Amino acid sequence: MSPVPGDAPVKVRRVVFAPSGLSATVEDGTTLLDAARTAGADLDSTCGGRGLCGRCQVVPSIGNFSKWQIDSRPDAITGWTATETDYTGRRPITDGQRLGCAAQVCGDLVVEIPAASQVHKQVVRKSVDVGDIEIDPLVRLHYLELEKAELGSELRGLAEQIGAALLADYDVTITRIDTHVLPLIADAVRGGDEAITVAVRYGHEVCAVYPGYVDRAFGVAVDVGSTTVAGHLVDLSTGEVLASNGVMNPQIRFGDDLMSRVSYVMMNPGGEVELTRSIRTALDAMVGELLTDAADTVDTLRPIDRRSILDMTIVGNPIMHHVILGIDPTPLGQAPFLLATDSAVTVRATDLGIDAPFASAYLLPCIAGHVGADTAGAILAEGPHRSEELQLLVDVGTNAEIVFGNSSHVLAASSPTGPAFEGAQISAGQRATAGAIERVRIDRDTLEPRLRVIGADVWSDDAEFTMQTMKLDISGICGSGIIEVMGEMYLAGLIDVDGTIRSDGPERTDRIFADGRTYSYRLWGDSEDPTQNINVTQDDVRAIQLAKAALRAGIDLLCEHAGHTDPEAIGSVRLAGAFGAHIDPLYAKVLGLVPDVPVALVSSVGNAAGAGAVRALVSAAQRAEIESAVRRVEKIETATEARFQELFVNAMGFPHTTEPTPNLATETVLPVAQERAASAGARRRTGRRRPR
């Protein structure tokens, strides 16, 4: 259109947005938010430029920018506006920043978009370590102000008005509105006086509607383990973990391990229904507890409740995965261990018995019959498929999952370690609760133990220990304590390389005593009745040997399949899971749980499966990444591998029966094996283990 004679010509200005360098040519009076949209720059806003959310804050950059050939001056942007003066949103306007929806262009300008104002933010979360990822949630909030209807007005239906407003204000094209949302629209519009906030999933589906302005949306990430269930409440727009919770998996009453639960289903018609009902009830209760925990600490304009939850992600082993979905798990209890589906599954949360009416639940893909969505989550969090160096990732639990490889080739397997690491099958074993022994040290000369228990901050030889444990019942040893006491007994020369509690022990300390045809070690207590004390028995040692040999055999099998049997080729070893997070890397090596890499390369990474669930919750790209990555993982079935049994036998010794441990020999003093009388067919054990 030609300018009207006498009107001043419209001036156009060039605006460059840092750090991206994207630019746009816009007319005078254009807001910085609109200029950013024109340029395609990454500037956040949930209120549609109405000065409510405070997410579009920018920093005008002053100076001469030869890179972009712009002299950016203070008068290239309008002064402080009434919108900014009256702003009372949850995010205060930071000194030196302006609201992009209020400040207008009146000259060539360079504008910095700070990280907090970017839609795809790089942030670090708390509670679970998910690293730095790009926030790209599948559900976003949009604030709309609809035209007030009058009698005789030719407005379309409310759903159509919402679609038109989303297109006009946010360039969002709606293809559907969830059927459970349609009945709620009219009340929301009336309650908000024609102002509403809608949640859009996948960029084109309306999945929730609220009256007025809502500033925050939330999601829940859950890791369903065979023993514990861990959940995290997350702000979808920032990735911040706002609350975390953990409960015992109620399915334990049907069996301690997965196979015993499958057996329960096999022997009890309809048993799968009971398993499903119990875990779904626990998930629903966990969501409620997370919301309660966050209610007093999370700052929101609208009270946080179950309608605030808009997305969920769930990880778990294959049996948990199937049980949650209401799928019979018995095919996973027998060869060929066939999954009903190994793809990611998306359902409504209410279909899983979880009272979150607006939420969708996404279950990460499984890998194989014994390698599930929890392993997929761990892979996503730790990234072996993104690494140039070889990474060994081990989730230590009742059924250990093992991943080995790098960006060229990733292999995965499970190994039946059993529940010994978690305290089952151990005479004084117990779960990690207050009073459980969690750390142990044995003096190399006196063979007297020191220990730490959950619920106390000091070691047992500290003067404060008695006071701190006065109300605690020191009644057993939890998983990390079991690993350490076994390692310490071996390093102190009380257990031989073949796992035998040495017969010369009673000559060295009265803590070693005859227990039938074998020997035991009194760790805690001074009762004359041995059964009243906390002891480590020969059967306990054997149980740990069997568990660790199964784990190590699985690791060695993957290394053989990958063609990398030299520990020096491994770039890092990562111990994951609630139990793995508490294992001291040195003792993992002493027992031979992992290959003989330098101890500095062994680390505990915590709940990697849960971290992967959080990543998938806040990023569509992360979901696409793991769905692609798991299809490239080579699955190794340990149950059908002929080499597994030989590797298992070789791994029974401490640290290992056949493999040398030169790195370990430089990291601690290894004991001298007990000399035994030579006999036919027997080989005499001699000398200190040396580097080779």
Q: How is 113-151 classified by DSSP, letter by letter? A: --GGG-SS-EE--SSS---SEE-B-SEEEEEEEPPPP-T
Distances (CA, A) of 49 to 84, 101, 111: 12, 5, 17
Judging by DSSP bridges, how do beta strands 228-235 and 218-224 pair with one another?
A: antiparallel
Nearest of 148, 144, 121 to residue 46 by alpha carbon = 144
Helices (H) and strands (E) in the chain, counts: 18, 31
pLDDT at 689: 39
The DSSP line for 469-509 is: TTT----EE-HHHHHHHHHHHHHTTSB-TTSPBPTTHHHH-
User: Which residues is 12 bridged to in the sheet?
Assistant: 27
Q: How does the average pLDDT of the chain come out, rounded?
A: 88
Q: How far is the C-alpha of 374 from the C-alpha of 352, rounded, in Å?
A: 18
Nearest of 611, 601, 555, 556 to residue 578 by alpha carbon = 611
Dihedral (C-alpha) 519, 524, 530, 535: value to the nearest 10 degrees? -40
Q: How far is the C-alpha of 604 from the C-alpha of 602, rounded, in Å?
A: 7
pLDDT at 686: 34
* Side chain identity at residue 415, one-letter code: S
Taking a C-beta distance cutoff of 8 angstroms, is the pair 519, 536 a contact?
Answer: no
Structure tokens at 359: 């939420």
Q: Tell me 10's DSSP state.
A: P
pLDDT at 5: 54
Give tens-digit pLDDT for 526-567: 998 888 899 999 999 999 999 999 999 999 999 999 999 999
pLDDT at 33: 93
How distant is the alpha carbon of residue 340 from its chain centre? 25
Q: Tell me 364's DSSP state.
A: P
pLDDT at 242: 92
Query: What are the chain's domains?
Result: 12-119 (3.10.20.30), 138-211 (3.10.20.880), 428-536 (no CATH)
Q: Where are the alpha helices (DSSP H) in 143-205?
A: 158-170, 185-191
Structure-token match 């700070």, residue found: 114
pTM over 0.85: no
Structure-token match 């973990």, residue found: 241
Nearest of 498, 476, 495 to residue 486 by alpha carbon = 495
Structure tokens at 130: 């998910």
Give tens-digit pLDDT for 57-66: 999 988 888 7
Structure tokens at 88: 């009372």
At residue 395, φ and ψ (nearest 5 deg) are: -95, 105
3-state secondary structure of 280: helix
* Strand extents, DSSP E, 36-100: 57-61, 63-65, 70-72, 98-99
3-state secondary structure of 80: coil
First to last CA, the chain: 86
pLDDT at 128: 63
Q: How far is the C-alpha of 396 from the C-alpha of 192, rounded, in Å?
A: 51
Distances (CA, A) of 304 to 88, 308, 644: 20, 6, 52
pLDDT at 678: 46
10-residue stretch averages of pLDDT, the chain, 692 residues long = 57 89 92 91 83 89 84 93 88 90 94 78 48 86 87 82 93 92 93 92 95 93 87 92 86 75 86 91 93 85 91 94 92 84 96 96 94 95 95 87 96 84 80 88 97 95 95 89 96 96 95 96 92 94 94 96 95 86 91 96 90 95 96 91 94 95 95 63 37 36
CB-CB neighbours of 466 under 10 Å: 11
Cis peptide before 655 (omega within 30 of 0): yes
Q: How far is the C-alpha of 418 from the C-alpha of 380, rounded, in Å?
A: 25
CB-CB neighbours of 437 under 10 Å: 26
Q: How far is the C-alpha of 612 from the C-alpha of 381, rounded, in Å?
A: 5
Structure tokens at 546: 């069997």
Burial of 380 (0-12, 13-18, 19+ CB in 10 A): buried
pLDDT at 7: 61
Q: How far is the C-alpha of 392 from the C-alpha of 384, rounded, in Å?
A: 8
User: Which residues is 246 bridged to in the sheet?
Assistant: 230
